[in-house]
Chains A and B, each alone.
Chain A
Amino acid sequence: MDRVTRDMNLRADVVLLDLSHDRVVEIGFLHGARLIRRLAGAVACLTVPLVAGCTGPLSTLDPAGPAAAAVARLWWAMLAGAGLIFALVMICLLLAYRRRTRARGSVGTWVVGLGLVFPTTTLTLLLGYAVLTGERLLPHPGEEVLRLDGTARQWTWSFHYPDGGPAIPDGGPLVIPVGRPVDIHVTSEDVIHSFWIPRLGGKIDALPGHVNVIRLQASEPGRFGAQCAEFCGLGHTQMFFWVDAVPEENFRQRTEAWR
């Protein structure tokens, strides 16, 4: 993967990604349980009748790990709340034109009640939920954690284990074990990039001169897309790689094999 994107006609690259994606779909269908979850996701996504559900190699709504799942739950909860508040405002607006008799223009009800007290309450609850969720996703110290070091440069990534061994074999995807938390320590050699595997969780920037850590975990085997999320110049679009989550024993076999 290191070299895949370098020196190559960028347009052709996309086609290349395209081809490899067909394999992803095959892998996906091997797992019946996942198929059902995908169907459930598709139902949840009825708001998008034209899209075949919320799937896709980069979909945040098709979580494959606890972090992404927590965020997806957060999203659906916030969507519901936002929908209600939006409906409230729209109904007020409609009523303003529908009502025969005038409402009492009371500052107490409108400005203080609806404008001040209502949002303050909602937001306090949301802040609590947000901070608690955020806490759970942090890279707290733990024993079982696998550590990886990632270095970005225009427009590729290279990954190493702390002992220096490469974590990506030539041209292959990044391999991580299923069910074990992975801390990725990212940095950059040139401009700012951002490390992002949407189906596993949020992103973290790779900054020159700094090392940032993100905790991710796959809860099911599969192949997920990883996209550089911070605009980093001409090759930003193509700064993409695949991540394979494999069961622990396969993981050991595969990583041993490259050493």
Chain B
Amino acid sequence: MTLAIRPAFLLVIALGYTLWGGALVVLYGVLSLGCVFGWEEVMLGPLTLQRGLLLLLWLLSVLVIALLSWQTCAWLQAARAGRPTPLARFTLWLAAACSIAAAGATLFMGLPILGASACI
């Protein structure tokens, strides 16, 4: 299989990290809003509304970027099964690696949600 890679594919390479950036902005934004609107005082079972929401958003964004990684890896695998040009190999690898790195970054960045105080 020879894959013709089009310029728009460059966007796929950037997509994972763009989602990571989105996740950071959303987490930071929700946290700030939550502290203003007192979500830290609302209990939701064992968690506060604030922390529950942050956990949810965090895991959701990790999941989305992980799915993207899975998809790009699948493309890479499919290409490897054929006889890809070095160019196709390179670009597909880069897309997969960038997505995986972005998923890892999102995971790492959210770790403090497990412990740090939300509004002090």
Residues of A at under 8 Å CB distance from B?
A: 120, 124, 127, 131-132, 134-135, 138-140, 213
Contacts and interface: CB of A to CB of B under 8 A. Distances in A.
Is the contact region of chain A dominated by helix, strand, or loop, or is it mixed? helix
Is the contact region of chain B dominated by helix, strand, or loop, or is it mixed? loop
B108 A131 contact: no
A135 B111 contact: no
Interface of B: 108, 111-112, 115-117, 120
A129 to B, nearest CB: 12
Contacts of A127: 108, 111-112
Contacts of B115: 131-132, 135
A139 B119 CA distance: 11
Nearest to B120: A138
Nearest to A213: B120
B116 A134 contact: yes
A131 B108 CA distance: 13
B19 to A, nearest CB: 20
A165 B7 CA distance: 69
Contacts of B112: 127, 131
Contacts of A134: 116
A39 B43 CA distance: 50
A248 B111 CA distance: 41
Contacts of B116: 131, 134-135
A124 B108 CA distance: 8
A120 B101 CA distance: 12
Contacts of B108: 120, 124, 127
